[in-house]
Chain A
């Protein structure tokens, strides 16, 4: 077999035994129970389960194991899995943190099946699923949070100051890395809470806020200054940060937060939400707990979510938990083209979410109070591949039908937020309004200004935003030491 050349031959006797161990799925709340609460779905591994799962790694001997090639931040996966197998969980966590400062988050939200686990040689064999790298990463990080000492020593004199704009995964990574290198770092975040999509977008049942707050505390303990309620471009401009506020460099990580709409009739009706509005009400503003929090959200019988990415899955499962009896996904392509993490699709289906494919909305229908009561859709068929390489959906004539609904959520993607770009002269944008920045250094066309994450690439993933942050931190350090641009 082709992948056998990767195997550690000294360990060959073990390999057969290792390959016989079945993949451990994490124990989870039962679907019937969890679909009405906001508590996290999987409970995570016990130490015994983690050790057993770690034994499934066949300890590839190649210089860089395949799995590592699939991880955007090149975590020493083999190394940390080995430590878990030995039962040294704290050392495993430390090993991961050499390259990834937010493992409890990545373990939970990375699309592993497209990254590390996709390339794992165990998974590439027939009949043996990949080592559960994400689950193991999550286990090590949670174990450390519970039993470890996450105190980080910071070196350097902090004489140079860096401003980080936006407190999402890109900004948090830059801030943490630069702080460790001895810079004085301030984060400017527009909302009243930090975390970006991790705070306002990804729901509690998938990423408990407590985990995020834990990571933020680490940053604060390290001495990162955090200013919330600071919309850069409004409260301060990038030029003011550099010229008046005495920052030596600025990193922009403001994300791709502006929701796209369908631009079809009736979209302005009450009850038609962008995914961002729906999720922000529930997550950032905690509308799921209306006895304590003031921001309202409505509930009804039928909710339809348009789209099939992580955002759509989060919205539809949130709807279910708010009390919608019938929560559905309508997607204009087919199951194969869905972009959500496999685990989320799987969880959604277990919870009773209905998926309907090859359906495109053409108009929303309102009642006399302009509240949405229905949506007219048409059925689609797949044609030739389009510029994204996926087969283009084409409407089938005469296939229109109406579905009665109480609310609709539009989760078809986002655009660049224009506030920072429009208020920063001398910084080039591409034709879609994203910031032009060097892929390897994060340098923009404006001296002293770096950028990374979704505001450069368009909506992507948490780990890619973090990866961009890591690279930017290295090149900010270089710029501040050498002064060369």
Chain B
């Protein structure tokens, strides 16, 4: 049904997949995601749509191998079919002419920020993108990001490329040293990164949008598993988000909720890899 028609390894345990899903490809807007099941007994996992191609009906996703489901996915080949792909889910990211927008991507978040940066640039914004990795050769989607940004800034932990440090160091420099006047920041990546970015922009009252990634099941507002606290109120990330105002998000609660099934996830991963190595 949902054939994998292309895949490539991006390094850092992240793989890119092109999946045949014409209905979704013709509909998806930046900031939206899909939910997929790899096989008939699998769990439903949400993944951001990085690119769409209306002509050949494919969507592109970047997936970081973390536990059992993403591991099974990483073992699939071109020509294999995913059991289910549903989408595009969530509210698209607000894309308007804001002025100067800083787009920050960390890890697989770079895949998510790419279509947003592209949309913002096409809408006439000055787009300053910041992406980071541990080291130069592990940097994702550099060329793509450069092509959709007015300016691309890079951070590597080891200093092998761009600024030595993390993306927030670059943002800080931009705000405090270069005194860039920024109308909006959009940050997608690990929760800890989105939290740090939001803390940094709060003092300067720079509107900051983050894309939250809580545990989801249906993705249609039916279960409430994805609930997050925003401005003290319960929101469902799958239908009210995933984008929220970073200055109002309770990131600590999100981090705790993401950890709830750690034990079960580890057990099922270990069980899977054991079986796998036996066969």
B positions within 8 Å CB-CB of A: 23-24, 27, 37, 41-44, 68-69, 83-89, 217-225, 227-229, 234, 236, 239, 250, 252-253, 256-257, 259-261, 264-265, 268
In the complex the two chains form, is A234's CB within 8 Å of B27's CB? yes
In the complex the two chains form, is B43's CB within 8 Å of A258's CB? no
Q: Report the number of A-B residue pairs with Cβ-Cβ less than 8 Å.
A: 121
A400 within 8 A of B: no
* Smallest CB-CB A-B distances: 5 pairs: A296-B264, A274-B224, A370-B256, A229-B86, A277-B223
A235 contact from B24, B84, B218, B221, Cβ within 8 A:
B24
Q: Which residues in B have their C-beta under 8 angstroms from that of A298? A: 260-261, 264
Shortest beta-carbon distance from B272 to chain A in Å: 9
Given A192-B37, A268-B257, the answer on whether A261 and B234 have CB atoms closer than 8 Å is: yes
Task: Give the contact-size bracket for chain A.
Answer: 35 or more
A369 contact from B224, B228, B256, Cβ within 8 A:
B256
In the complex the two chains form, is B220's CB within 8 Å of A296's CB? no
Q: Which residues in A have their C-beta under 8 angstroms from that of B234? A: 261, 263, 267-268
Shortest beta-carbon distance from B275 to chain A in Å: 11
Interface residues of A in 192-213 (CB under 8 A from B): 192, 200
Shortest beta-carbon distance from B84 to chain A in Å: 4
Q: Which residues in B have their C-beta under 8 angstroms from that of A267? A: 234
Q: A415-456 vs B: 1/0 string, CB under 8 Å? A: 001110000000000000000000000000000000000000
Shortest beta-carbon distance from A414 to chain B in Å: 9
In the complex the two chains form, is A369's CB within 8 Å of B259's CB? yes
Given A235-B23, A296-B268, the answer on whether A192 and B224 have CB atoms closer than 8 Å is: no
Q: Which residues in A have their C-beta under 8 angstroms from that of B259? A: 270, 369
In the complex the two chains form, is B218's CB within 8 Å of A419's CB? no
A258 contact from B83, B222, B257, Cβ within 8 A:
B222
For A236, the closest partner residue in chain B by CB is B23
Of A120-128, A286-294, A308-316, A462-470, the one with at least 4 CB within 8 A of chain B: A286-294
Specify which of B83, B88, B229, B268 lies most central, judged by the most chain A CB atoms within 10 Å of its CB: B268
A276 within 8 A of B: yes
A positions within 8 Å CB-CB of B: 190-192, 200, 228-231, 234-236, 257-259, 261, 263, 267-268, 270-271, 273-274, 276-277, 280-281, 285-286, 290, 292-296, 298, 369-371, 417-419
* Distance of A257 Cα from B229 Cα, bound (Å): 21
In the complex the two chains form, is A417's CB within 8 Å of B222's CB? yes
Given A277-B217, A277-B223, the answer on whether A285 and B86 have CB atoms closer than 8 Å is: no
Q: Please name 8 pairs of A and B residues whose Cβ atoms are closer than 8 Å in the assembled complex, sorted by A.
A: A229-B84, A230-B86, A231-B220, A234-B87, A235-B86, A273-B224, A277-B223, A280-B222
Q: Which residues in B have their C-beta under 8 angstroms from that of A259? A: 222-224
